[in-house]
């Protein structure tokens, strides 16, 4: 693991959250992006070296919609940057961590991503991400 890449927060209303956090951070979000495959709209803020990703469901069957329905708005995941995502997926799987999909997918912010089930990580959804080069 290289560093904490971002913290993901599930929200119902991205526009409302962008307005709120622009005031809190005294700066606008720097990027919005729709990830069609995951049915999610994202917005990113950067505070120092830390990125905060807000996620709004773009469809009723998306993982974010289901998460909000089950747990409400709030912390969704913590993402760690890795140098070789396939290697980390194999390494962690061999150690007993439950990887949610067998192959990484294209995520927001030009990243390959995969998730580790919270059952494997003491209740925290962990995302691994690698810059697409």
Confidence at residue 1, expressed as pLDDT on a 0 to 100 scale: 84
Can you spell out the DSSP letters for 35-103?
Answer: EGGGTEEEEEEEETTEEEEEEEESSTTSHHHHHHHHH-SEEEEEEEE-S-HHHHHHHHHHTT--BSSSS
User: What does pTM read for this prediction?
Assistant: 0.91
3-131, CATH topology level? 2,3-Dihydroxybiphenyl 1,2-Dioxygenase; domain 1 (3.10.180)
What is the average per-residue pLDDT within 20-32?
97
- What does residue 39 show for φ and ψ, rounded to 5 degrees? 55, 55
Provide the percentage of residues in the chain whose pLDDT is more than 70.
100
pLDDT grade, residue 13 (50/70/90)?
very high
Residue 12 has pLDDT above 90, yes or no: yes
Domain boundaries, the chain: 3-131
């Amino acid at each position: 693991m290289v560093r904490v890449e971002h913290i993901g927060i599930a929200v119902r209303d991205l526009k409302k959250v962008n307005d709120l956090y622009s005031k809190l951070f005294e700066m606008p979000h720097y990027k919005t992006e729709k990830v069609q495959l995951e049915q999610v709209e994202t917005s990113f803020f950067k505070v120092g070296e830390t990125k905060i990703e807000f996620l709004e469901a773009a469809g009723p069957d998306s993982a974010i919609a289901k998460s909000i329905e089950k747990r409400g708005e709030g912390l969704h995941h913590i993402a760690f940057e890795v140098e070789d995502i396939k290697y980390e997926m194999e390494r962690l799987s061999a150690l007993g961590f439950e990887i949610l999909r067998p192959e990484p997918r294209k995520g927001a912010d030009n990243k390959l991503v995969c998730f580790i089930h919270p059952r494997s990580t003491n209740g925290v959804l962990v995302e691994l991400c690698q810059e697409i080069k």
